[in-house]
């Protein structure tokens, strides 16, 4: 399921917020209301937004001041801001909006189709950026997983050699004890010969195993052939 983008609507008049929701509902994204600059800044503390529609004329903290706070925060400085104003004070007023960090400045009454198209562009950009971040994170995990697998493969043979060496040592001890027992009991020649043959086999295995350990050989030694 594709996660929806959030669009922050900031206006002190409920009827304006309702009108914005009616215009943007066709985008099928999550619309978040804020009735003041302070409320908008609070919402920006916890949620990520694709774009902010910000009314300029608001009591208390106006749109310009709100935008200045948004641009000062590292978390929110890159969120696009579209200023909405019912008053057109001329080029200087528009310039102030762009200077405050707005990507667009629209005077009311505005064309609903134009506003929806502008917002749609920023939503698409936001969604693409989210996908890129997810792909980058997935790639990083895959690379880290590959590095861990490689490390495990490097360590695995060493652990296997240690286990084989321990098992061989146990067999060597048993063979040595058997040889001593045969000597003490003056066993028949066939038993003694068999024990000696076993010791030679174990010696060959030990040499081959030692050659496989790092720093002790080429890692390609073969078990001596004994009949």
**Dihedral, CA atoms, 28, 33, 37, 39, nearest 10 degrees?**
-120
Per the prediction, the chain carries an average pLDDT of: 78
pLDDT of residue 173: 74
- At 105-160, the pLDDT tens digits run 888 788 899 999 999 999 998 998 888 778 777 777 777 776 666 555 555 566 66
Of residues 216 and 174, more confidence is placed in 174
Of residues 143 and 52, more confidence is placed in 52
Of residues 38 and 167, more confidence is placed in 38
pLDDT of residue 214: 61
Of residues 70 and 227, more confidence is placed in 70
pLDDT of residue 79: 92
Calpha distance 84→207 (Å, rounded): 84
Domains defined for the chain, CATH in brackets: 6-110 (3.40.50.2300)
User: Is residue 96 within 8 Å of residue 62, measured between CB atoms?
Assistant: no
Calpha distance 160→164 (Å, rounded): 6
Calpha distance 139→141 (Å, rounded): 5
Mean pLDDT of 45-55: 94
Sole residue written with tokens 């950026």: 129
- Contacts of the segment 34-40: beta carbons below 8 A, 24+ positions apart: 34/8, 34/9, 34/10, 35/10, 35/11, 36/10, 36/12, 36/60, 36/61, 37/10, 37/61, 37/62, 37/63, 37/65, 37/66, 37/69, 39/10, 40/8, 40/10, 40/66, 40/70
Contacts of 199 (CB under 8 A, 6+ apart): 175, 176, 179
* Residue whose C-alpha is closest to residue 50's, from 7, 92, 83: 7
Of residues 105 and 95, more confidence is placed in 105
pTM of the complete model beyond 0.75? no
């Amino acid at each position: 399921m594709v996660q929806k983008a959030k669009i922050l609507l900031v206006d002190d008049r409920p009827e304006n917020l309702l009108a914005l929701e009616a215009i943007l509902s066709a985008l099928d994204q999550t619309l978040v209301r804020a009735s003041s600059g302070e409320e908008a800044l609070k919402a920006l503390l916890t949620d990520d937004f694709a774009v902010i529609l910000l009314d300029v004329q608001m009591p208390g903290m106006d749109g310009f001041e709100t935008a200045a706070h948004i641009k000062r925060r590292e978390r929110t400085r890159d969120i696009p801001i579209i200023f909405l104003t019912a008053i057109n004070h001329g080029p200087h007023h528009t310039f102030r909006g762009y200077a405050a960090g707005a990507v667009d400045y629209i005077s009311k009454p505005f064309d609903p189709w134009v506003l929806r198209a502008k917002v749609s562009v920023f939503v698409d950009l936001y969604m693409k950026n989210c996908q890129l971040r997810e792909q980058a994170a997935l790639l990083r995990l895959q690379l880290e997983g590959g590095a861990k697998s490689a490390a495990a493969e490097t360590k695995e043979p060493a652990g296997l050699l240690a286990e084989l060496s321990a098992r061989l040592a146990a067999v060597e001890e048993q063979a040595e004890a058997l040889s001593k027992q045969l000597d003490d009991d003056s066993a028949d020649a066939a038993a003694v010969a068999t024990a000696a043959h076993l010791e030679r086999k174990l010696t060959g295995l030990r040499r081959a195993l030692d050659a496989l350990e790092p720093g002790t050989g080429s890692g390609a030694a073969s078990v001596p052939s004994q009949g």
